[in-house]
Structure 1
Amino acid sequence: MNDLLPIILAIVAVIIVVGGLIPVFLKRRKSTSTYAGPRDANDPADAAPAGGTIVEDAPGTATPAPGTVVEPSDAVLPEIDVPDDAAGLEVVPVETPAPVEGRLNRLRARLVKSNNILGKGLLALLSSDKIDENVWDEVEETLLLADLGTEPTTQLVDSLRDRVKVLGTRDPEHVKALLRDELVKLVDPDMDRSLNVDRKGGHPAIMIVVGVNGVGKTTTVGKLARVLVAEDKDVILGAADTFRAAASHQLATWGQRVGVPTVMSDIDGADPASVAYEAVKAGIEQEVDVVMIDTAGRLQNKVGLMDELGKVKRVVEKLAEVDEVLLVLDATTGQNGLNQAKVFAEVVNITGIVLTKLDGTAKGGIVVAIQKALGVPVKLVGLGEGPDDLAPFEAEAFVDALLN
C-alpha cells in the first residue's frame, strides 16, 4: 500500500493541473474569430490584422453577464483575433457581378408581373364610361389594398378627381398619364437615394444592415456587396450575426464569390459588437472603401435585443462614423413593416430602406407608405432570388412598372 501512495498522489496532481488548464483553454477558444478572405488567402493585400483589440474605457471593469447590454463607456469587449484563414470554407469561383446601371429596367418584367393588379385595376376603373363616386370609392379601396396608406391614398384620389373633372377626359391613355404623374409625385423622385459609400476623413464608409428575422438581411448584404464591387469599390464584410447558425459562413460565401473578405467569429454567440469593431478596424488598416456589417435578426418588441443593436453602432463609432444604416423590410408584410421600421428608427437612426420580395406581392404601395412614415427613402429593392436581383430604386421606373 505504501508503494502505491506516490503513484496515487502523482495521479491526483496531474488531474488538478489539467483541470486548471481546461477553463483557460475554453476562455481562449471563445475569443477567436476568423477572417474569411478571398480565394487567395495568401495575398498580403487581403491580410487582416494579426491581433485583437480590447475596448476598455474603465480599467478593471468586470465583464457583464451573458445577455447584459451595457453602454460603451462600461463595456469590455472580448478580444477578437482575425487570422488570415479561410476557416475551411469551400473555395468558390470568383464571379463578375452584373452592371448596376439600368438594373431596375432589366428587372422590370418581374415587377410588372407581380404588381400589375394595382396598375390595371386603377386604369380599368378610371377609363370606364362613367366616373362617379362609386368609381372613386373603388379607386380608393384599390390603393388601400396596395398598402399605399390612408393619407397618401386620400391625397392621390383627391388630386386625380379634380384633374379628371376639370379636363373631362375619358381617354384611357390620358387618364393613365394623369395617374402616372400623381404616383410619381407620391413616390417622390427628389429624395436622395444615393448610398454613402465613399471614403472620407481617411476612413472607409461604414454601413450597418438591420432588420427583423427572416427578411433576408444576410442575402441582402451579399447582393449589395456585388453592387459595390460592380462599381469598383473595395469592400470588407463584418459577420456580426453571431447567433444564427451558419450565418457567418453564408455571408463569407457571398463575399468569396466576388473576392470580398469577411471578418467573422468561429464561435456561435460571440459578442457581435466585437466582430463589428474588428471589421471596421480591418477596413481602416487595409484602406478599403466600404465596411458592411451584417447584424442578427431581432424582433422589434424585444427591448434587450434592440439595445444590443444600439451598442453595436456605438462601439463601431469609437473608430469611425457610421455613414449608412439600412433597414431591410419584407415588402409582403405590408403595414406591419411600418411598425417594425418605426422601432428600428428610434434605436439606430435609419438612413435608407431596402425592400425585399417586392416581386412576390401586388402591394407596391408600401414604397410610398414607408417613406411617408419615416421620411427616409427606399434606396434598394429586391426583385428576385438571383445574386444580381438587387437594384437601386428609381421612382419613375418603379411607377412605370406598376402601370405596365
Structure 2
Amino acid sequence: MTDEVVSRVHREAWWKRMSRRMDRASLAFSEQVRDAVLLRRDLDDAFYDDLLEILIGADAGMGVAEQLVTSLRERVRLERIATAEEALNALKAEMLTLLEARDRRLNLDARPSVLVVVGVNGSGKTTTLGKLGHRLSAEGMTALVAAADTFRAAAIDQMRVWADRSGIDVVAHRPGADPGAVVYDAIQAALARRIDVVLVDTAGRLHTKSNLMAELEKVRRVIERAIPDAPQETLLVIEAPTGMNAIAQARAFHEAMQLTGIVLTKLDGTSRGGTVLAIEAELDVPVKLVGLGEGIDDLNVFDPAAYLDALFAGVLELPAG
C-alpha cells in the first residue's frame, strides 16, 4: 500500500474507535430528529421548518442551516424523495458536500515548516501541540517546540512534560522573556539541526496591559523575517462545547494572525453537533484537526464522512463497509 493509503486506513480506524465518544452530540441530534422529523408522513413546510430549527439548535448557525434546508428542498424535488428517512440521508449528503469542499491538509512541506498555535488560555493549545508533536514523530518527521507562552511559567513546564511524552525537544527561555526571542532561537535551532517542523506555542492572555493580538503579531513578524514563507500553518484551538460563543474570539485571532485552520478540541464533550459547520462558515477557515479525548493519540485529521456517520448514528444506518 502507498503511504497515502496507509494514512487513510489509519485515520479511518481512529475515527471508528473514537466515534463512540461523540455519543452526546449524536444522542441530542437523533432525539430531536426522531421526535420532530423522522415520524412525519409528509415532507411539507412544517417538516422543513422543524429541520431548520433542529440544525440551528445543534449550533450549525442560521446561514448554514438555511443553506442546507434550501438545498434539501431542491434535492427532494429533483430526486422525488418521498420519505423522511430518505430526506435525512439526502441532508447528510448535502452536509458532506459542504464539508468536503474545503482543503484540510496540513501544509508542512517546507523544511523547516513553522506551525503556530493560538487560542485563549484553557482551550488546549499546549496539549494540542504535544499531541501534534507525537503525530509528527509517528509519521517519521522531526519537530521541536518554541515555548513562546512566556507569560505563564506553568505553560513552559506543561510544554516540557508534553514534549517529553512526544519525544521532541523544547526551546524555552525564562518566564517573562520576550516571546519573539524564543521563536527566533527555536527557528535557528531547527535550521542548524535540520528539523522538519517548528511548533510554536503562544500566549492566550497577558499579565500586563499589553494587547494580546499586538504581541502575537510581533511573533508573526519574527517568524516572517527568519523564514519569509513562514508560518506555513497558523491554527486556532477552540473547545467544541463553546460553539457559536467562540466566533467573536476567533475573528480577533483571524484578523491578527491570518488563520489557516482550526483545531476543535473536546468534540466528545459537546451536544451541539453542528459546531464544525458554523465555525467554518463564519470564519471561512477549515477545521483541520479534532480532539476526542485526553490521550496523546487522541488528536487526528478531521474526517467529514466519519464525523457525519457519528452524528447521524442514532437515526440512520451506516453505509456498508
TM-score, normalised relative to structure 2: 0.87
Q: Which residue of 2 aligns with 1:133?
A: 45
> More relative contact order in 1 or in 2 (CA 8 Å, sep 6+)?
2
Find the residue that maps to 1:147 and give its secondary structure.
coil
How far the C-alpha of 1:303 sits from its partner, in A, is 7.1
Q: Verify: 1:341 aligned to 2:250, yes or no.
A: yes
Correspondent of 1:350 among 239, 247, 259: 259
Find the residue that maps to 2:288 and give its secondary structure.
strand
How far the C-alpha of 1:140 sits from its partner, in A, is 1.2
Find the residue that maps to 2:310 and give its secondary structure.
helix
Q: Verify: 1:292 aligned to 2:199, yes or no.
A: yes
Question: For 1:100 and 1:207, how far apart are their aligned partners in 2?
Answer: 23
Question: For 1:162 and 1:120, how far apart are their aligned partners in 2?
Answer: 25
Correspondent of 2:83 among 160, 163, 170: 170
Distance change >3 Å, CA 100–CA 345, structure 1 → 2: farther
Q: Which residue of 1 aligns with 2:11?
A: 101
Superposed CA RMSD in Å reads 2.0
Q: Verify: 1:233 aligned to 2:144, yes or no.
A: no
How far the C-alpha of 1:331 sits from its partner, in A, is 1.1
More helix by share: 2
Question: For 2:278 and 2:11, how far apart are their aligned partners in 1?
Answer: 26
Q: Which residue of 1 aligns with 2:92?
A: 180
Correspondent of 1:214 among 122, 125, 135: 122
Q: Which residue of 2 aligns with 1:191?
A: 102
Report 1:367-386 matches (<5 A).
Answer: 367-386=276-295
Question: For 1:387 and 1:168, how far apart are their aligned partners in 2?
Answer: 45
Deviations 1:317-346 (Å, cap 9, x if unpaired)? 221121110011111111121111111111
Deviations 1:332-389 (Å, cap 9, x if unpaired)? 1111211111111111110010001111112121211111122211000111122211
How far the C-alpha of 1:132 sits from its partner, in A, is 3.4
Q: Please identify, of 109-118 and 247-256, the stretch whose mean Cα deviation from structure 2 is larger.
A: 109-118
Letter in 2 for 1:274: A
Q: Residues 210 and 217 of structure 1 are in contact (CA less than 8 Å); yes or no, is this contact kept in structure 2?
A: yes
Q: Residues 208 and 292 of structure 1 are in contact (CA less than 8 Å); yes or no, is this contact kept in structure 2?
A: yes
Question: For 2:112 and 2:162, how far apart are their aligned partners in 1?
Answer: 20
Q: Which residue of 1 aligns with 2:29?
A: 118
Question: For 2:62 and 2:282, how far apart are their aligned partners in 1?
Answer: 11
- State the number of aligned residues: 298
Letter in 2 for 1:181: A
Identical positions, percent = 44
Question: For 2:210 and 2:280, how far apart are their aligned partners in 1?
Answer: 25
Q: Which residue of 2 aligns with 1:400?
A: 309
Greater than 4 Å deviation, 4+ residue runs: none
Structure 1: tracts of 5 or more residues without a match: 1-98
Distance change >3 Å, CA 168–CA 237, structure 1 → 2: closer
Q: Residues 131 and 166 of structure 2 are in contact (CA less than 8 Å); yes or no, is this contact kept in structure 1?
A: no
TM-score, normalised relative to structure 1: 0.70
Question: For 1:373 and 1:303, how far apart are their aligned partners in 2?
Answer: 28
Question: Quick check: which has more Rg, 1 or 2?
Answer: 1
Distance change >3 Å, CA 183–CA 274, structure 1 → 2: same
Letter in 1 for 2:231: V
How far the C-alpha of 1:106 sits from its partner, in A, is 2.1
Question: For 2:148 and 2:210, how far apart are their aligned partners in 1?
Answer: 19
How far the C-alpha of 1:176 sits from its partner, in A, is 3.1
Report 1:248-327 matches (<5 A).
Answer: 248-265=156-173, 267-298=174-205, 304-320=211-227, 321-327=230-236
